[in-house]
Amino acid sequence: MPPKRKAPLATADANTLDTPALKKATKGKRTTNGAPSAPAAQNKYKYSGPGSMVNQGPVDITFVMWPGIKGTEEEEVEDDKDDEEDDKPESGSLQETLDGIENERRKAVNEAINARMNNNTVSSSEIRNIRDEKSKPFEKKAEQARKKFLKAKTMTAEEARATVGVDDATRNEKTKAKKNCQERLNEICRERNMAVHNALNSDKKSYISVREGQARIAKAEKRFLKKMDECRGAVAKYTPLTMEEAKEIVPNVEVDDEGNEITKKSAAQAKKDARTKTFVPPRVVTDEGLPVSRAGMEKFIEINQEIDKRNQDVHGLYIYNDFSGYGVTEVMENLLAEFNKSIFKKDISPLKKWAIVEGLTLYLTMGDLRVWMMNDDSEGIEEVFNMMGVMFVTALEMLHESALIGPTSPLPDNVGVLSLLFLNFVMIGCTDYDLEWAHEVVRAADEYGVVLTPMKQVEDVTQDRLDELRDICEKTKKGKGLFWKTEYPKFKRDHPGGRKYDITKMSTAQKAQYEFGNVSEDSEVEDLD
């Protein structure tokens, strides 16, 4: 573990990377040494005045591990792997044998259907015929496996007939469905526990009989037990789980003698906590990860929390297909509104403003974007992406104005690496969108002295790709649509943000109508603002 630093932050951390000349970027492996960004003149501060940095202590930081690093991430998913292991059949069992046969059958059926669809349109009846025809040899193979186990007298004929193969994809879906059902049942159980507690203490009697207590409990928990049954029924209806499998899932919330929930800590979390106590995060990029300000990490966590508030799956609801995706867009609109509110305020530290960009970049790099990217409002999402580009370029100018880029920065490598991560998202994560401003991020980085050094952890932003973007910069003038003051007001007209998709703002009655199968595609969600 790296030792704690004794020297002042700015002098202890020299930038391990060369800073480029500010006037013209270098290409290939050539480097040109240049000075760090210089602050603006006293009367020309556009973003944060010098007073906002008075008494600024060392920046509190945290350390983010690169994706794929062994150790931390493996520990974080250890519990999920345990769940998967629990669902796997016993080695050498009939179930394992039939599962393998089912995987082969599914692959053969899919290949046959895909081959037919490459040449012609295929009707549903043709698909059924293909499936039935391709399945026959595997059904025969499965029956032979059952007979083999019967001959070995390891199970009865009834047990063998009841054992059905499950392919890997379906098993994974079942594992996820079990986990989601478990979480939902736990939520209902917590509500039940609270209702029972209130029922037992409603009249503040010093003593009640056992019979009266049991009666109060039965009355208080009745509707929650019904909700649990409805939850299991919906799981059986909308997931691969059978009703028998759903009924086996029970709440695992434990309470102490006072009725307080006992928080369970996984083995992975215990290991992580022990390591955190002794870990001193480095302030420069390493092979293990990169430093970000604690404020930036807190913003990243906040973004995820706000998205979860708008995720219908998290709340066990079904409102309509793209509801959760629109919720992510709303969170991004709110984030851009927050940046707009603070960017030109002279009394707000530039590091606090940069934390918003840090949090966003971490989300774009590490967050689960599938729900958002699959949303049907691709035009609206593209407009959000374009505004993010303006925000990033504006943020680099803001840091440069306060001389917070280069060796004198509290986190010398932070800005350069986050710029690479942001570029990686734009160039690789947004290929389905018409974004034509990646070169403007490179232009701004070069203009303000940000080091862009390709690294193996951000493999898609290569030196050749950076040179291509710089060639575009040399052939074009700076885009007109990159000025925050003119672009954000136009953007806000169609992207006001708000909390329309915040499920936690819905009343209990509102939520009830969207629980599982109780809603149609035509249902409207009222504005909660």
Q: Which of 147-151, 208-212, 252-256, 423-427 has the highest mean pLDDT?
A: 423-427
% of the chain with per-residue pLDDT over 70? 78
- Per the CB < 8 A criterion, the answer to whether 179 and 239 are in contact is no
Instruction: State which H helix or E strand residue 61 sits in.
Output: strand 61-65
Asked if the model's pLDDT at residue 8 lies above 60, the reply is no
Least confident of 139-148, 251-260, 425-434: 251-260
User: What confidence score (pLDDT) does residue 22 get?
Assistant: 38
- Token pair 């390493």: residue: 286
**Tokens for 144?**
């032979």
If one counts every other C-beta atom within 10 angstroms of the C-beta of residue 86, the result is: 9
In this prediction, residue 55 carries a pLDDT of 58
Provide the pLDDT confidence category of residue 343 given band limits of 50, 70 and 90: very high
Q: How far apart are CA 72 and CA 200, in angstroms?
A: 44
Amino acid making up residue 462: T
Task: State both tokens at 361.
Answer: 């970049």
| Mutual angle of helices 378-401 and 438-447, in 10-degree steps | 0
Least confidently predicted of 42-46, 48-52, 88-92, 202-206: 42-46
Give the pairing of strands 289-293 and 61-65: antiparallel
Q: With residue 65 as reference, give the H or E element that holds it.
A: strand 61-65
Q: What was the pLDDT predicted at 10?
A: 32
Which two structure tokens, joined as six digits, stand for 28?
């290939």
pLDDT band at 326 (very low <50, low <70, confident <90, very high): very high
Best-predicted range by mean pLDDT among 69-73, 236-240, 445-449? 445-449
Mean pLDDT of all residues in 420-432: 90
Tell me the three-class secondary structure of 128-177, residue by residue. Answer: HHHHHHHHHHHHHHHHHHHHHHHHCCCCCHHHHHHCCCCCHHHHHHHHHH
List the single range of 8-22, 129-143, 162-176 with lowest mean pLDDT.
Answer: 8-22
- pLDDT tens sequence across 92-116: 888 888 889 888 988 888 888 777 7
Among 471, 454, 484, 387, residue whose Cα is nearest residue 426: 387
pLDDT of residue 330: 98
204 vs 57, residue with greater confidence = 204
- Spatial neighbors of 460 by CB under 8 A, at least 6 apart, are 424, 427, 428
Q: Which helix (DSSP H) or strand (DSSP E) does residue 63 occupy?
A: strand 61-65
The CA angle 395-398-400, to the nearest 5 degrees, is: 110
Q: How far apart are the first and last CA of the chain?
A: 48
pLDDT at 32: 37
Distance of CA 398 to the CA centre of its chain: 28
pLDDT at residue 521 is higher than 60: no
Instruction: Report the chain's mean pLDDT, rounded to a whole number.
Output: 80
Torsion over CA: 490, 491, 497, 501 (sign) = positive
Tokens of 326: 């629109």
Closest CA to 138 of 169, 107, 104: 104
